[in-house]
Amino acid sequence: MHRMPAGFKLVALAISALLLSLVPQTAATIGVVLIAVGVLYLTAGFGVRVIATELWRLRWLALVLGVALAVFISPLTAWISTGRVMALLLLASLLTFTTRMADLLDVLHRVLRPARRLGVDTDAVAMTLSLTITMIPIIAGFAGQIRDAQRARGVRLGVRAAVPLLVRALRHADDVSDALLARGLG
């Protein structure tokens, strides 16, 4: 999977997102999709530990989304919708694990090239899209670090944990911005 062209992987992610969003899903098909994503991780050479780590990083999102949907709509809808989101986030993480950023940027530049005629800054759009995809595991990692710090202090912030997460995400965004400016990309 690491050797597959970045364009193929990006198209596969886009098609997966469309299919998961547009094709009606059942509880069983979402289960199959999640198992298939796990098999993709294993096929790419990542062990069960990596899959477990990724699921652990996304646990709060799954919990909040799942509980909210279960309470306000139905448990079946909660399973299907949360499963869709989890599958897409896991696929996006797999893309970032198996694709170099430079390769991803090259593909995005080629795909967006026709938009230049319309006055679109394709460099900025390509960079934004690639940074967005790569930020998913980073933000999830921040959430895990905040939880670990809370646990070490014996503090339970609950929903208030969003504040330190936001601060860390903004600080990281500033660091990325400074790095891009230093390289003449900003």
- Rounded to 5 degrees, what are φ and ψ at 184? 75, 20
Kindly report the pTM of this predicted structure: 0.68
User: For 21-31, how does the pLDDT look when each residue is reduced to its tens digit (9 = 90+)?
Assistant: 888 888 899 99
Give the integer Cα–Cα distance in Å for 45 and 1.
8
Give the integer Cα–Cα distance in Å for 49 and 57.
12
Give me the count of residues in the chain: 186
What count of Cα atoms within 13 Å lies in the side-chain half-sphere of residue 31? 4
Contact criterion met (CB below 8 Å) for 136 and 91: no
Whether residue 171 is predicted with pLDDT greater than 80 in this model: the reply is yes
For residue 39, the model assigns a pLDDT of: 92
Whether residue 140 is predicted with pLDDT greater than 80 in this model: the reply is no
At 170, the pLDDT band (50, 70, 90 cuts) reads confident
Whether residue 185 is predicted with pLDDT greater than 70 in this model: the reply is no
Residue 69 or 185, more confident: 69
User: For 35-76, how does the pLDDT look when each residue is reduced to its tens digit (9 = 90+)?
Assistant: 999 999 999 888 899 888 888 888 878 888 888 888 888 899
Contact criterion met (CB below 8 Å) for 4 and 98: yes
Q: Which residue has the tokens 């999830």?
A: 140
For residue 165, the model assigns a pLDDT of: 80
**Mean pLDDT, range 117-135, rounded to an integer:** 76
Contact criterion met (CB below 8 Å) for 67 and 78: yes
Phi-psi region for residue 45, left (φ > 0), alpha (ψ -120 to 50) or beta?
A: left
Q: Which two tokens stand for residue 178?
A: 């400074």
